[in-house]
Amino acid sequence: MLERIREDINSVLERDPAARSRLEILLCYPGLWAVWIHRISHVLWRSQMRLPARLLSQIGRFFTGVDIHPGALLGRRLFIDHATGVVIGETAIVGSDVTMYQGVTLGGTGKGHGKRHPTVCDGVFIGNNANVLGNITVGENSRVGAGSVVLSDVPPNSTVVGVPAHIIYRNGQRVLITDPHDVKDPLSDALIALSARVEELEERLGGHAQPVEPFAAEEAEREAYRVELERLRIYVSMGEGI
Q: Measured in whole angstroms, how far is the alpha carbon of residue 188 from the centre of its chain?
A: 20
Please answer whether residues 150 and 134 qualify as being in contact, where contact means their C-beta atoms are separated by less than 8 angstroms: no
Please answer whether residues 32 and 12 qualify as being in contact, where contact means their C-beta atoms are separated by less than 8 angstroms: yes
CA distance 8 to 13: 9
Please answer whether residues 74 and 68 qualify as being in contact, where contact means their C-beta atoms are separated by less than 8 angstroms: yes
Alpha helices in the chain (DSSP H): 2-15, 22-28, 30-46, 50-64, 188-204, 216-232
Beta bridge partners of 143: 125, 159
Q: Class of 2-176 per CATH?
A: mainly beta
Residue 241 pLDDT > 50, yes or no?
no
CA distance 151 to 108: 10
**Residues listed for the chain:** 242
| CA nearest neighbour of 35 among 68, 84, 71 | 68
Q: Which tens digits make up the pLDDT trace of 70-88?
A: 999 999 999 999 889 999 9
Delimit the domains of the chain by residue range.
2-176, 178-242
CA distance 219 to 237: 25
Distances 66 to 58, 82, 90 between C-alpha atoms, Å? 9, 10, 14
Q: Does this model's pTM top 0.85?
A: no
Q: If DSSP codes are grouped into helix, strand and coil, which group holds residue 100?
A: strand
Cis peptide before 70 (omega within 30 of 0): no
The number of beta carbons lying within 10 Å of the beta carbon of residue 190 is 11
Instruction: Provide the residue type at 98 as one letter.
Output: V
Confidence (pLDDT) at 242: 46
Place 211 in a pLDDT band, splitting at 50, 70 and 90: low
Residue 173 pLDDT > 90, yes or no?
no
Please answer whether residues 100 and 126 qualify as being in contact, where contact means their C-beta atoms are separated by less than 8 angstroms: yes
Mean of the per-residue pLDDT values of the chain: 86
Residue 178 pLDDT > 70, yes or no?
no
The number of beta carbons lying within 10 Å of the beta carbon of residue 86 is 26
Q: Which tens digits make up the pLDDT trace of 6-39?
A: 898 999 998 988 888 999 999 999 999 999 999 9
